Amino acid sequence: MEKKRIDDSEPGPVPPPAPLDRFGFVKQEPNNSPDGLAKGREDRRIRKWRKMIGVGGSDWKHYVKRKPHVVKRRIRKGIPDCLRGLVWQLISGSRDLLLMNPGVYEPGHFLIYLPGLHDFVIDSSQ
């Protein structure tokens, strides 16, 4: 009886790609909940965050002072994708700087450094 040796260079069937989550990570186990339930949960989370933030961040400081434990818990659970930029501005305080200094943080008022291209500095405001 001869044993047939399989060469690694021989093309064979390609296994199907592993299922990925929305961030590109391989799912460890199949998701048992239907997409509708996950979507509903995400919608509720977004409504809670919008209520906590207020229009343009108007209620944020009040909510953080009144219920810091709730804010901390929600941040640890995850900031919804659609609100992530605004929430990080509010958490870091950069939103206040942006509003107190109109015109400073507008596009076109900064320098871009491109290393390796003969050390050019491009003034993007021109």
Average pLDDT score, the chain: 77
Q: What is the pTM assigned to this prediction?
A: 0.56
**Euclidean distance between CA atoms 27 and 119, whole angstroms:** 44
Q: Which residues pair with 26 in a beta bridge?
A: 20
pLDDT at residue 114 in the model: 57
Residue ranges of domains in the chain = 36-103
CA nearest 45: which of 21, 81, 92? Answer: 81
8 Å CB contact between 29 and 22: no
125: pLDDT strictly greater than 60: no
Most confidently predicted of 19-33, 64-78, 90-104: 64-78
Which of the two residues, 123 and 115, has the higher pLDDT score?
115
8 Å CB contact between 38 and 31: yes
